[in-house]
Structure 1
């Protein structure tokens, strides 16, 4: 029995095929001088299958969806300018 992985763009819902210009994005923390000063930041990198499984990673089918994700994230940050990184 074979195992087939499938990925879907987190913005538009397109299914990943063999080719394409896919990207990965995730939210991280830019540390301030104190823990409570940390600022959320978004990271973007080209597709790497080994990282596609990581928790919190968004799968993006191209530049347009990467831009849409960035726009949405920036709007959320603008709406809450005092937001800091989540501490666990």
Structure 2
């Protein structure tokens, strides 16, 4: 049986096609020994079909959205926009 899975960029909403140069991001906890330091990490990975199905992965359609995701993470500690965060609740 073949699974038909489609992917959408978590920043701009673009649908993934065959020739796109996509990336993935995983946010994870890290042990922090210094008070006031961020407790999460931002891991940017090249697209991998098998890993892309991991529910913890964010999907990014290219360099611009990867940079936007990093900026959001550095500013807010998440890559979700305020609008997206409220719609997931």
* Structures share fold, TM-score greater than 0.5: yes
Regions of 4+ moved over 3 Å? none
* Equivalent residue, structure 2, for 1:48: 48
Which protein has the bigger helix share?
2
Aligned to 1:27: 27
Secondary structure of 1:69's partner?
helix
Match of 1:13 in 2: 13
Between structure 1 and structure 2, the one with the greater Rg is 1
In structure 1, the gaps of 5 or more residues are 78-88
Quote the residue 1:57 is aligned against.
57
- Root mean square deviation, CA, Å: 2.1
Provide structure 2 residue ranges, at least 5 long, that are not aligned to the other structure: 78-89
TM-score by length of 2: 0.73
* TM-score under structure 1 length normalisation: 0.74
Aligned length: 75
